[in-house]
Amino acid sequence: MRPEWDGFVEPGSKEEELLLRIDFDRLPQHVAIIMDGNGRWARQRNLPRVEGHRAGAKSVQEAVETAARLGISYLTLFAFSKENWKRPRKEVNTLWRLLEEYSKKQDKVMLENNLRLKVIGEREGIPPRTRRELERLEKLTAQGERMTILLALNYSGREEIVHACREIVRQNLLRSDEIDEETITKFLYTAGIPDPDLLIRTSGEMRISNFLLWQMAYTELWITPVLWPDFRKIHFLEAVLEYQRRERRFGGLGSN
């Protein structure tokens, strides 16, 4: 077993078995995750919904560590959508507070492990105190090269495309007949970052929920019934192995 997994994977465990089957020459460069199921997890245990969000923080930590140890270059986490504002105000406020607290606790860990944070979404809608904390962490980790964590906050895939089009018009850089896919890509929140190779969605829902609509044109999807607070390294490894079993054709013909 690789030395970077010492102390993280138990010898003889199912995780080690999966890890030994992974082809490290064919890893997805960019993995995106829709972290779904916190509310259902709490409801099944007769707990307030906020406890599901608290439990989900452990899954975030484990997903980040697993991805970094594997050698994934980019990990995008869908943390708060534009639609999430429709939830009860108390729950929304708690979500932002939890995010702020988590950010403060993780700055040393991110620095020590050479990780970079990048927030994508409409920043103006994020509560000021939370936004300042996130921007502090972005600046602090700007030189991180091991892995970039993209945190999608106050995010909408459709609005991202609208934003890109408005920026092209506002800057008056090109004539309409000069605008192509490459042009729009340069104005997305993810400009300069490769499209996701693999999308993981927890809780068994079969939809992409307005997430990275432009970027996921050819992304491989892996859906698990596991609720997000129960998501662990074993599930991440299962997703990567399933990704490696597939043949990516990008609209062309396969080898078979």
CATH number at residue 99: 3.40.1180.10
> Would you say residue 17 lies in a domain?
no
Sheet with 74-81, side-by-side order of all strands: 115-120, 147-155, 74-81, 30-34, 198-201, 220-223
Render pLDDT for 198-242 as a digit per residue (tens, 0 to 9).
999 999 999 999 999 999 999 999 999 999 999 999 999 999 999
Instruction: Tell me if residue 230 is catalytic.
Output: no
Q: What is the pLDDT of residue 250?
A: 59
Give the pLDDT confidence score for residue 176 in this predicted structure. Answer: 74
Q: Is residue 167 part of a domain?
A: no
Query: Is position 36 annotated as part of the catalytic site?
Result: yes
Sequence-distant (≥ 6) Cβ neighbours of residue 75 within 8 angstroms? 30, 31, 32, 33, 63, 64, 67, 147, 148, 149, 150
Q: What is the pLDDT of residue 170?
A: 86
Q: Which of 23, 36, 46, 256 is catalytic?
A: 36
Residue of 23, 25, 84, 154 with catalytic role: 84
Asked if residues 103 and 133 have their Cβ atoms less than 8 Å apart, the reply is yes
Evaluate if residue 254 carries a pLDDT over 80.
no
Residue 161 in any domain: the answer is: no
Tally of domains within the chain: 1
Domain that holds residue 93: 26-156+195-245
Quick one: pLDDT at residue 6?
79
Residue 76 resides in a domain: yes
